[in-house]
Amino acid sequence: MKQALVSLLLALCSCEKSAAPADAGRTQAPARPPALGNLLQAELRRDPSGVSEEERLSPRVEQRREAIRTLARIADPKSFEPLAQALADEDAEVMQWAAFGVGQLCRDHEPEAVRRLALRAASLATEPASDTNGKAWSGIAFALGRCASDEAERTLRSWLRLRAPLAASATLGIAQVARSRKRLDDATIAALLDAASKEPSGAALHPLESLPALGAAARDRLLEVGSAALLEPSPGRAHAVRALAKAGAGAATPLRRLLDSKTATDAERADAARSLAALGSAGQAELAGALPAQTRALIDGKSWLTSAHGVLLTLLEGLESAKGADAASLSELSELPLEGETAPVLRRKIMLRCRAAALLAGRSSLSPTLLACDPSPPAERREGSLATLKVLARGPLTEARGARFVELARAEDRVVREAALELLVAHDEAPRIPELLESALLAEAPGVRATAAKVIARYPARAQLPSEVVAPGVVQALSKRLMELDVTASDVEVSASLLDAAASLSLLGAKPALERACRSPNPTLRKHAERAYAQLGEPGRRCENVPGAETWTAVPLGRQRLELETDVGPLSITLWGDKQPFAATRLVELSREGFFDGMAVHRVVPGFVAQFGDPDGDGFGGPKLPPLRCQTSPDAFEAGRVGVALAGRDTGVSQFFVTLRAAPHLAGEYSQIGEAEGGWDRLAAGDRILRVRVLEVRSAK
């Protein structure tokens, strides 16, 4: 078996095995040497010259690990060769980080990167299976997936025939390919479905979640193996739930069965509701059929402060109309009594009232039920306004409906205003569009500016007058914002959106701002600048890595525990300050300053993620602090992991999220900085963090 395994892998390679460093086999882990502080500075500055050859080839395995990890996270093209050489190291962690770095840099070094990764995997196959080389193997598979080339996909596909741990790593790698390319070869899809039929846990279906569609034969096979995977609880069942959204109308019945199941987790049930919503009319019928029982269970069980609330909320979000739905259930939800309820229960009931009212209203934005769903004061009537926008989106934004839309597109509530502006993507008939975009670009709220810029970037015609000339007011507003653009500021997402909008309008006056962005130490701004140059006629323009000048002066953290007092009960987070010093230190410092005290949790996707840290509440806000350097890794995001919310590489400031289920697709994209405990899955958007306390975690002796 081993010889066949090696032969299969070596057939993919045509080069000689690289030599390992002379002392690569040493595994002692001495005390942290002083040089590691310099490596942290190099990582902070994104400066590969701060990592010496002596550190990369040190006889001390801990030093090699730190050096290669630093190069991998810096991800400078100049680091490709030393990272590729480090694949030959005999320490599994060094290999894993080297592979991660090679995968990060694969775009400009393919097919050489794929060849060297596959070769190292072939040499690993000659060794006995163990947790140690399993970590290295998974790192290589992950890196091949990041390469996302045809050769990388073929290589990973061939590994699906190997022993179970290697095949599982290959599946995660193929999932990376699917996310990047939004397609897989038919042979790969067939191999995944074969693997899923042999191991009916559903884990092999993970890559199919990211595909926009499947062929008829693949849909039929997915329906067969995916339905079987739903029958018994397993860690991989959630993948089958999400993959079945691509299996066609026949998947509606097994998904409905899981949605109604008392043995399924609420995260699985929320995913089942989302998958049903993606299935068209068959899924709509099953969602409507599930509504009465789900409504009764929540109301009769008074389960307002449990994750079951999120399941019903997701079901209502998935319904496109009240057609076929139980009118009595929708009416009961739209009229839920509010008297005497605590703030958290009141919040959840208003969400349900307004979503039900929006369904009952159809296209009538003046429906009495809709107007009454949110009894909050006018300035705080966010749920009611968002429900009105759902109703307006179902028809043309003209006449009285258009006037109501304009009113909401100028709302004081930035979340409502941004949601209204987003409707412009699908509604070019709305009145006064250029005027609304100009006003939004000049708004003080960063999120409002960014949303308007994103609309323009996606549909430049929205900024045009009837004469098909770009509105002068839009050009002036955009030019003003570009003149003010600060490439060192914290709101990178806003700046990047403005660059995209200027490029989509062929605004040549944007070039000074592009020049500044191209010289920025922030990689996300440089990436957007490159893209804008290409749209403005300079497709070959490249923005090289610019090392920063930051200095790390914070006191080193060990493990820290945050205790959060919220209006729905206590929660906690344990931070890995020793592994993730940049973001962990920021989170601790902000907590000690009271930054989060009184702040709302602004984003909750039931069964997936809860996010906090934005005082503005729309996902664009935060303190005026330097963006955090990402400290990403190939490690999987398990349920309850804490990550840094991003809008691109090195863009995090103060927003953090907690995963409510395993989320392997987040690996390598977000810094994973700790683990959460408590009922995070019970949260709803708007829940308040009353106070955060910081405690040091003392290690047991």
Report whether 5 contacts 111 (CB < 8 A).
Answer: no
The pTM of the full predicted model, rounded to 2 decimals, is 0.93
Report whether 83 contacts 105 (CB < 8 A).
Answer: yes
Return the exposure string of 636-655: e unless at least 16 CB atoms fall within 10 Å of the residue's CB, then b: bbebbbbbbbbbbbbbbbbb
Rounded to the nearest 10 degrees, the angle between the axes of helix 131-147 and helix 92-104 is 0
For position 202, what pLDDT does the model report?
87
Q: How far apart are CA 102 and CA 173, in angstroms?
A: 14
For position 699, what pLDDT does the model report?
58
| CATH number at 41-181 | 1.25.10.10
- Tokens linked to 171: 């599946």
Tell me the per-residue pLDDT of 22-68, one tens digit each, with 9 for 90 and over.
333 333 433 444 466 889 999 999 999 999 999 999 999 999 999 99
Report whether 73 contacts 8 (CB < 8 A).
Answer: no
For position 162, what pLDDT does the model report?
85
For position 557, what pLDDT does the model report?
80
For position 16, what pLDDT does the model report?
33
Q: How far apart are CA 187 and CA 376, in angstroms?
A: 56
Strands 656-659, 641-644: pairing is: antiparallel
Say how many CA atoms lie within 13 Å of 561 toward its Cβ: 12
Tell me the per-residue pLDDT of 141-190, one tens digit each, with 9 for 90 and over.
999 999 999 999 999 999 998 888 889 999 999 999 999 999 999 999 99
Q: Do 41-181 and 296-500 come out as alike in CATH topology?
A: yes
Question: 683 exposed, middle or buried (CB, 10 Å; 0-12, 13-18, 19+)?
Answer: buried
Rounded to the nearest 10 degrees, the angle between the axes of helix 492-504 and helix 511-518 is 140
Report whether 174 contacts 157 (CB < 8 A).
Answer: yes
Tell me the per-residue pLDDT of 479-514, one tens digit each, with 9 for 90 and over.
999 999 998 888 999 999 999 999 999 999 999 999
Lowest average pLDDT, out of 280-289, 383-392, 557-566, 586-595, goes to: 557-566
Sign, CA torsion 447/453/455/458: negative
3-state DSSP assignment of residue 696: strand
Confidence band for 124, pLDDT divided at 50, 70 and 90: confident
Q: What is the mean pLDDT of residues 455-479?
A: 96
Lowest average pLDDT, out of 58-72, 542-556, 668-682, goes to: 542-556
Strand partners for 692: 564
User: Comparing 137 with 291, which gets the higher pLDDT?
Assistant: 291
Sign, CA torsion 9/10/15/16: positive
For every residue of 32-89, which 3-state class applies, written as one string? CCCHHHHHHHHHHHCCHHHCCHHHHCCCCHHHHHHHHHHHHHHCCHHHHHHHHHHCCC
Mean pLDDT for all residues in the chain: 92
For position 36, what pLDDT does the model report?
66
For position 433, what pLDDT does the model report?
98
- Tokens linked to 640: 């309850």
Confidence band for 556, pLDDT divided at 50, 70 and 90: confident
Range 296-500 classified under CATH 2.70.98 = no
Q: What is the mean pLDDT of residues 389-411?
A: 97
For position 131, what pLDDT does the model report?
67
- Give the CATH class of 559-696: mainly beta
Q: How far apart are CA 561 and CA 339, in angstroms?
A: 37
Note the maximum CA span of the chain.
Answer: 79
Q: How far apart are CA 446 and CA 614, in angstroms?
A: 12
- 599-600 sheet: strands from edge to edge: 599-600, 688-696, 559-566, 569-576, 672-678, 641-644, 656-659, 609-612, 603-605
Tell me the per-residue pLDDT of 623-638, one tens digit each, with 9 for 90 and over.
999 999 999 999 999 9
Tell me the per-residue pLDDT of 98-118, one tens digit each, with 9 for 90 and over.
999 999 999 889 899 999 999
Question: 371 exposed, middle or buried (CB, 10 Å; 0-12, 13-18, 19+)?
Answer: middle
Q: Give helix then strand counts, H and E, for the chain.
A: 30, 9
Query: Could you give the percent of the chain with pLDDT greater than 70?
Result: 94
For position 333, what pLDDT does the model report?
98
For position 125, what pLDDT does the model report?
79
Instruction: Please list the alpha-helical segments (H only) found in 206-251.
Output: 216-229, 237-243
For position 35, what pLDDT does the model report?
60
Confidence band for 19, pLDDT divided at 50, 70 and 90: very low
Report whether 677 contacts 660 (CB < 8 A).
Answer: no
For position 542, what pLDDT does the model report?
93
3-state DSSP assignment of residue 677: strand
For position 533, what pLDDT does the model report?
96
Query: Could you give the percent of the chain with pLDDT greater than 90?
Result: 85
Q: Is the pLDDT of residue 9 over 80?
A: no
3-state DSSP assignment of residue 466: coil
Give the closest residue to 61 by CA, choosing from 31, 96, 24.
24
User: Comparing 11 with 677, which gets the higher pLDDT?
Assistant: 677
Strands 672-678, 569-576: pairing is: antiparallel
Return the exposure string of 114-147: e unless at least 16 CB atoms fall within 10 Å of the residue's CB, then b: bbbbbbbbbbbbeeeeeebbbbbbbbbbbbbbbb
Where do the domains of the chain lie? 41-181, 296-500, 559-696
CA distances 282 to 217, 237, 289, 322, Å, are: 19, 22, 11, 15
Write the DSSP symbol of residue 132.
H
CA 414 remoteness from chain centre: 22
Backbone φ, ψ for residue 324 (5° rounding): 85, -15
Report whether 115 contacts 144 (CB < 8 A).
Answer: no
For position 489, what pLDDT does the model report?
84
Q: Which residues contact 610 (CB under 8 A, 6 or more apart)?
A: 601, 603, 604, 657, 658, 660, 680, 681, 683
